[in-house]
Amino acid sequence: MATMDKKNVSMNDVAVAAGVSLKTVSRVINEPDSVRESTRDKVHAAMEALGFRTNFAARSLKLGRYGCIGVVLFHLSGGAVDMIDGIADAAEERGFALTMIKKRAGEKMTLADAARRMSQLPVDGMIFNLRQMVDDFETFEAPKDLKTVIITPMEHPTCSTVSDDQEGGARMACEYFLDHGHKNVYFVAGKEESLSSQCRMKGWRAALEARGIEPPDPLQGDWNADSGYAAGLVLADKPDCTAVLAANDCMANGVMMALRDKGLSVPDDVSVIGFDDELYKTIPNSILTSVKFRHRELGIRALNEVVAGLEAPSSRSRTLVSGVLVERSSVRDLRA
Amino acid sequence: MATMDKKNVSMNDVAVAAGVSLKTVSRVINEPDSVRESTRDKVHAAMEALGFRTNFAARSLKLGRYGCIGVVLFHLSGGAVDMIDGIADAAEERGFALTMIKKRAGEKMTLADAARRMSQLPVDGMIFNLRQMVDDFETFEAPKDLKTVIITPMEHPTCSTVSDDQEGGARMACEYFLDHGHKNVYFVAGKEESLSSQCRMKGWRAALEARGIEPPDPLQGDWNADSGYAAGLVLADKPDCTAVLAANDCMANGVMMALRDKGLSVPDDVSVIGFDDELYKTIPNSILTSVKFRHRELGIRALNEVVAGLEAPSSRSRTLVSGVLVERSSVRDLRA
DNA sequence: TTACGAAATGACAACGTTGTCATTTCATTA
DNA sequence: TAATGAAATGACAACGTTGTCATTTCGTAA
């Protein structure tokens, strides 16, 4: 009555039970067509009965690959969900699993640290999600045998990178203001160390300067609504302020609330554009025009780039995923 | 000049280069104290020179374990970020990496499917993040050699589960209303298929019934502000409505906006409580009292439960992580 | 029936580690 | 200096797969 269940059922156990050779079991799994149907059935029955599952370690040792892509999260923010979603879906589709590690809060992790850790894990290639500066960014060289893609707005000298076109998105929003007859655009920045905020600011500056407009001093925020509100109070007192670009929707909302509290109307008195297009989730009948980035697409591209690099020892590439301006009614047309 | 760089550097290569035996190299890595310092240095030098990194597959094949915990995302929502964050941090701390797979949109994945896929991957135990019902929930049995923890508000007959105490959180909010002198509480639900919404509703019902109050019909929402706004318009017309519990903050905000548009004041005329405590990010000077769940803690608990099950072949357990009522000023005290 | 080529199956080595046990080297004491 | 035991090192097998090549079985035609 005592069924002695062995710890791990191996192919050999299955082979013995089915009365065939080890190699035949292997064939049933990897090239079933090369095995006679009657034999196949016996083997399948034995596998079922014993509860066999192929051993990942042995298999990948033999094959020399894992079928896993590493993901290093230097930073895990809200937008990261959709990106991970994209990475995971694309991986699934191409038959890969993900191996994930994360920088701990407070911990200092360089690209080299991440690469070192990853290369001890079951991983054929890797993706770094990097939204802030890191010490060895310029000097880092990826392991030659581990295709590495970095998700970051910065260009890297040797690694492939993928990014939202944050700068382009900001430029687009600015030009939208200008094309609607606005003569100037104020900017509310996100957290200072955030690369996203820096890029958005850069795009804003570039767009204004391209039309010969001197950019006013940007206002410093911290991504949250309260900092936007504070900025809005300041802006409400500037008579030349007709257009405000806020580095995200929460701050944009803060700005709008402050303007309203100061007796100004959006968009009649002041026009506002935000980023991320997420205000509609929280505010009913939201009117905020916003630049939306396709984070999911970003993840998909990153994963595809890694997988491509696995097959062909590809060179460095740079992918930009453009943003989309979601138009609502927070921008007034000053022409005519 | 042509340096022939071998594809993979093995311990044997290092051993030859350092003039020691294979086993000595192994020892330098796994039990450095048992190796004379001079030898150790030679080996380290050789490892450095050749760029040696231990082979994950071979190592885990020999050891019979991977040092990885599997995470299955049946569902990837906003709150999941913090949970993943917790899982990842706790894993890091205990020296584990994560292996992740995700249900694709539209795909049908049962617990058995997930377990089957995972057991072919490098994984010592696994965590399922399950926020909706799944066909084989009741009948599922986890592989005996793979400790399985399910993050879900439902109790499972054989697997350990971890969950926010959603029901308790809703009860807490309700009682808070009642303790402040309210005679009844209306409820705005989230998406119908969401277990979170169902549990929150259950807690709301239970709290009212416990005080002999007949719960009014709940209003159906879809998590977004607009659906909350619609509910708010309806509630504004109910003279007996002094307290509204909305299943999340976005809908709560929608309710508040509708009430305001109907000329009612929060909290003077109607009191409101939400869930998740995230409105303050989007709304400046937010007054919304909200039940906050500690998703990060949830992830940590889940991971710890898995790891504990690895060491001691533990039995089934059920962990509830309590919520916290973040008090602001959206509830009026009707006593006195 | 026999011979033949193709299809199906099997024996054995190899992947790169770690565990077991045997052997060598070293420092210490008589 | 020789004897002793402890410390350091090494030889070899084993983990569970897959690749290579040899062998057996089968169906078909002479």
pLDDT in tens, A39-64: 999 999 999 999 999 999 999 999 99
Residues B230, A281: Cα–Cα separation, whole Å: 14
Q: Is the pLDDT of residue B1 over 50?
A: no
Q: Is the pLDDT of residue B6 over 90?
A: no
User: Cβ distance A98 to B68 under 8 Å?
Assistant: no
User: Cβ distance B171 to B202 under 8 Å?
Assistant: no
The pLDDT of residue A57: 98
User: Cβ distance B69 to B91 under 8 Å?
Assistant: yes
Q: What is the token pair recorded at B103?
A: 């249900």
Instruction: Tell which wins on pLDDT, B206 or A79.
Output: B206
B243 φ, ψ (degrees, to nearest 5) = -140, 130
Q: Is the pLDDT of residue B311 over 90?
A: no
Q: A311 CB contacts (<8 Å, ≥6 apart)?
A: none
Residues A15, A26: Cα–Cα separation, whole Å: 9
pLDDT digit string (tens) for A232-276? 999 999 999 999 999 999 999 999 999 999 999 999 999 999 999
Residues of A in contact with B53 (CB under 8 A): 116, 119-120
Q: What is the token pair recorded at A229?
A: 């509100």
What is chain A's mean pLDDT, rounded? 94
**Residue B61 CB lies within 7 Å of the nucleic strand D:** yes
Q: Is the pLDDT of residue B144 over 70?
A: yes
Residues A248, A61: Cα–Cα separation, whole Å: 47
Q: How many helices (H) and strands (E) does chain A have?
A: 12, 12
Which nucleotide is closest, CA of A36 to its C1'?
C8
Of A167, A164, A165, A224, residue with least CA distance to A198? A167
The pLDDT-based confidence of B80 (bands split at 50, 70, 90) is: confident
Whether omega for the bond prior to residue B267 falls within 30 degrees of 0, making it cis, is yes
For chain B, how are helix, strand and coil distributed in percent, rounded to 5? 40, 15, 40
**Residue at token pair 């929502």:** B77
Q: What is the count of residue pairs from A and B with beta carbons less than 8 Å apart? A: 179
Minimal Cα distance from B279: which residue of A?
Answer: A282
Q: Is the pLDDT of residue B68 over 70?
A: yes
B 230-289 near A (Cβ less than 8 A): 249-250, 253-254, 257-258, 279-286
Q: Is the pLDDT of residue A4 over 90?
A: no
Element (H, E) at B278: none
DSSP states of A25-65: HHHHHH-GGGS-HHHHHHHHHHHHHHT----HHHHHHHHS-
B 200-229 near A (Cβ less than 8 A): 223-226, 228-229
Minimal Cα distance from A257: which residue of B?
Answer: B284
Interval B71-94 mean pLDDT: 91
The pLDDT-based confidence of A77 (bands split at 50, 70, 90) is: confident
Compute CA A314 distance to the chain's CA centroid, rounded to the nearest angstrom.
21
The pLDDT of residue B7: 66
User: Cβ distance A166 to A190 under 8 Å?
Assistant: no
Which nucleotide is closest, CA of B36 to its C1'?
D8
Which nucleotide is closest, CA of A38 to its C1'?
C8
A108 φ, ψ (degrees, to nearest 5) = -105, 120
Of B200, B69, B172, B188, residue with least CA distance to B129? B69
Query: CA B176 → CA B165, B181, B253, B291, B324, distances in Å?
Result: 16, 9, 19, 11, 12
The pLDDT of residue A329: 96
Minimal Cα distance from B97: which residue of A?
Answer: A101
The pLDDT of residue A7: 66
Q: B191 CB contacts (<8 Å, ≥6 apart)?
A: B197, B221, B222, B223
Residues with CB under 7 A from strand C: A 19-24, 27, 34-36, 38-39, 58, 61-62, 64; B 8, 10-12, 22-23, 26, 29-30, 52, 54-55, 58-59, 61-63
| Residue A276, CA atoms < 13 Å, CB-side half-sphere | 23
Find the helix packing angle between B225-236 and B249-261, rounded to 10°.
40
**Residue A58 CB lies within 7 Å of the nucleic strand D:** yes
Interval B90-116 mean pLDDT: 94
pLDDT digit string (tens) for A125-178? 999 999 889 999 999 999 988 999 999 999 999 999 999 999 999 999 999 999
What is chain B's mean pLDDT, rounded? 94
Q: Is the pLDDT of residue B2 over 50?
A: no
Give the one of B104, B225, B284 whose C-beta lies nearest to A283's C-beta.
B225
Contact B99 A104 (CB under 8 A): no
Give the one of A100, A280, A286 whose C-beta lies nearest to B98's C-beta.
A100
Residues of A in contact with B60 (CB under 8 A): 56-57, 122
Contact B68 A100 (CB under 8 A): no
Which nucleotide is closest, CA of B15 to its C1'?
D10
pLDDT digit string (tens) for B288-308? 999 999 999 999 999 999 999
Percent of chain B with pLDDT over 90: 90
Q: Is the pLDDT of residue A89 over 70?
A: yes
